[in-house]
Structure 1
């Protein structure tokens, strides 16, 4: 059985791997970006389809699982990515994936 860590340090480490991927131009980048933006502000930036996990490498899916586990185990209330020190990176992800040119309907 695989164990996925859900502590603060593991969550930050997972983010340091997920953020560059979300800013890249790979097949998995949009899925990871969608996950991060759904966490940041799902109503405005879109939601993450759980079935998108099927299209991710196991290591990437484990990083997302670590984040979800961290959020579920946290007893401090709502925790957003900016409170973990990644606000600037999120702005870059939003600019990349939610600019008019990046939208499929644009």
Structure 2
């Protein structure tokens, strides 16, 4: 996939409020990210729904998965770019 297609996919993914909330929570969590269960709870989703979103964000190469202390943890791969994308989407009124 070329960079323009990747950027379009990232913007499309981030226009979903639940995905955007997860990315915002990961921005606040810092570079180490946070455990999946804590992340789901922080954005008010059950773990099953959050798991589907985590999978979508993994496939889009937006988040990274690591295992720490027997917990699945997620972190953002391109924090600065995601922050900018979320800002653009919010300012443009694209967030549904």
Q: TM-score, normalising length from structure 1?
A: 0.35
| Structure (1/2) with the larger helix percentage | 1
Q: Which has the larger radius of gyration?
A: 1
Q: TM-score, normalising length from structure 2?
A: 0.38
| Structure (1/2) with the larger strand percentage | 2
